[in-house]
Structure 1
Amino acid sequence: MGNRVLGLVVHPRNDVSESVATVTKLAGEQGIRVVARPADAERLGAGVEAMDEAVFAGAVDFVFSLGGDGTMLGAMRLVAGRPTPVLGVNHGNVGFLIEVSPRQLPRALERLIAGDFSLEPHSCLELTGHGDAALAFNDVVLTATTPWTAVSLDLEINAVRHGYFRSDAVVVCTPTGSTAYNYAAGGPIISPSAPLIGLTPVAPMAGISRPIVLGGDETVLLRSPGDATRLSLDGAAVFTVAAGTDMVLRMRPNATNVVRFDQSTHGARARVKLSVLDLPLRPDQLIELVPEELRDRARRLTDEDESA
């Protein structure tokens, strides 16, 4: 990775100084430049160069996201459409997308330098019809502009009318985003290996009242006939469109690449995190999620207690 450029995208508030120090030390030893966008570079200190936001995405060879899932999603949107690998280091809370903890970062850097990793492609939703195209790797959430008011949206799929939603919100999600707001609203969990789009009404009052799962090559059009609509993309970009605006959603496959060192470990951790949120498993099934060495230790301690 010599003569390469490593870009940092960091949580706006959480302390990431320890990970930044690790990255700059090991990167410096390998002749790798570490850069960040000006607003981030100001708080990261020596060893991190400021790089203009307009050229950042095209100049970096790797991106490290230091934060939670929100920071990771922002990093993914930043390099969407490029082959740039994105590595997530968890400085947030749940971190469904993130495999590496801060203490694992030195070893992760060593493996990156050695080329000992794989890339997991992620698709995103592309929203058009309102202006410039916008991207969401988790979900697009549509609500009314007035709080506590239901949103009414006509639905067309591949230019064919399919009824309407009248609900507190409508969540349009990717497989990655199916475990976020979609899941909380009672929508289905979609396998990351399936190129599908989920549509879930939140607290439906009339019209379509069940979740819908569509193929990844379908075109979804939503339109509010009478009122403006508020859209939130990945909980970050929020804007309003006028009544009657066509909000067109398509899946863009393989929009970005996430670094993975151990896919099975990441999957098991995601299962644990989902179980903590909802506990969909029986106690005996939860035991399966505990690493074998911890189970063996617990058995030994139990045996010692019983023999005492």
Structure 2
Amino acid sequence: MKHFTLGLVVHPDRRVLDSVRLIIRHARRTGGVVVARPCDAGQVGPEVEIVTPEEFVERVDGVISLGGDGTMLGAMRLVVGRQVPVLGVNHGHLGFLIEVTPSELEPALDRLAEGHYTLEPHSCLEADDHTAFNDIVVTAAEPLSSLTLDLEVNGLSHGYYRGDAVIACTPTGSTAYNYAAGGPVISPSAPVVALTPVAPMSGISRPVILGKDDRIVLRNPSGDVPLLFSVDGTPAEPLRPGAELPVRLRTDAVDIVRFDVDAYARRNRVKLSLLDLPLRPDQLVELIPQPLREQAERLRQTMP
């Protein structure tokens, strides 16, 4: 990995400097360069080269996200279509997208340098010039108001939504707001889009699953009432009266670094169980790593 340029994307408030210093030391040892954008300069310290956002995207051979899922999503959006590997280090909370903890970062960097990893492709939603790896959420512009939103698929009207919101999500995003709203959990291997109404009052009242080649249009049918849409939880933008929001699924939009796919899957099962995924107690025990189970059994046997 000589002359490898690593780009850092960091959470604006988390304490990530220890991880940054470790990455810098590793890069120097392996002949790499570490860069960041001006918006992250205050978090990464003076030893990281600061480049323009455009130069960042052009130069990086890999991206390391230091934060939670929101930071990871931002890092992924930067390199859509470039096939640049993105490694997440969890300085956040649940971190569904992220495999590596700060304590695991040093061996992860060694494995990255040695090429001992796999790449997990992720799809995204594209809506005009917006990119969402989790979801696009349409709501009323007025607080505590309901929306009316028309759905068109492949040029044909498929009815309308009336309720609090409508969520369009990727398989990755199916465990986020979509899941909380009663939508389905979708396998990452399925190239589909879920449309889930939130608190439906009339019209379409159940989640709808559409394929990667379906042309989806969400339309504001009102002549005078604006709506809002938000992409991956970013600040909302207006969907003006009569305006359309075309949504399509882009497969293999970005590659996430994975070192141990099975361990990552086990961790996410634990996280989903915290969100009330129905598991029996014996199934929950299966989620505990085998070494910890053996250690607990030895301790149990020594107790009177």
| TM score, norm. by length of structure 1 | 0.96
Q: How far does residue 303 in structure 1 lie from its aligned partner after superposition?
A: 2.5
Q: d(CA) in 1 for partners of 2:289 and 2:236? A: 41
Q: Identity across aligned pairs (percent)?
A: 56
Asked if 1:187 corresponds to 2:183, the answer is yes
Aligned AA for 1:95?
A: G
1:152-171 equivalence runs, <5 A? 152-171=148-167
How far apart, in 2, do the equivalents of 1:293 and 1:281 lie?
A: 21
Corresponding residue of 1:241? 239
Aligned to 1:105: 105
Uncovered stretches (5+) of structure 1, i.e. residues with no partner: none
CA distance in 2, matches of 1:75, 1:237: 17
The aligned counterpart of 2:59 is 59
Q: Report if aligned partners of 1:35, 1:41 keep a CA contact under 8 Å in 2.
A: no
Q: Which amino acid aligns with 1:188?
A: P
RMSD (Å) for aligned C-alpha atoms: 1.0
Secondary structure of the residue aligned to 2:164 is: strand
Q: CA deviation at 1:302?
A: 2.2
How many pairs align?
302
SS of the aligned residue for 1:161 comes to: strand
2:95 paired residue number: 95
**Equivalent residue for 1:121?**
121
1:32 and 1:162 map into 2 onto residues whose CA distance is: 52
Shift of residue 250, structure 1, vs aligned partner: 0.3
Detail structure 1 runs of 4+ shifted over 6 Å in the superposition: none
For 2:277 and 2:130, the matched residues in 1 are separated by 34
d(CA) in 2 for partners of 1:4 and 1:293?
A: 36
Shift of 1:253: 0.9
Hey, what does 1:201 align to over in structure 2? 197
TM-score w.r.t. length of structure 2: 0.97
SS in 2 for 1:14: coil
Tell me the amino acid that sits aligned with residue 180 of structure 1: A
| 1:260-284 Cα distance to aligned partner (Å, 9 max, x none) | 0011111111110111122421111
- Cα displacement string for residues 34-70 of structure 1 (whole angstroms, at most 9, x for unaligned residues): 0000121233113200010122111100000000000
The separation in 2 between residues aligned to 1:249 and 1:237, in whole angstroms, is 18
Shift of 1:230: 0.5
The CA deviation at 1:237 is 4.5
What displacement does 1:137 show?
0.4
Tell me, yes or no, if structure 1 residue 287 matches structure 2 residue 293: no
Structure 2 gaps of 5+ residues are none
Task: Find the residue that maps to 1:286 and give its secondary structure.
Answer: helix
Partners in 1 of 2:127 and 2:265 — Cα distance? 29
- 1:27 corresponds in structure 2 to 27
CA drift of 1:31 comes to 1.6
User: What's the secondary structure of 2:230's corresponding residue?
Assistant: strand
Matched, 1:266 2:257: no
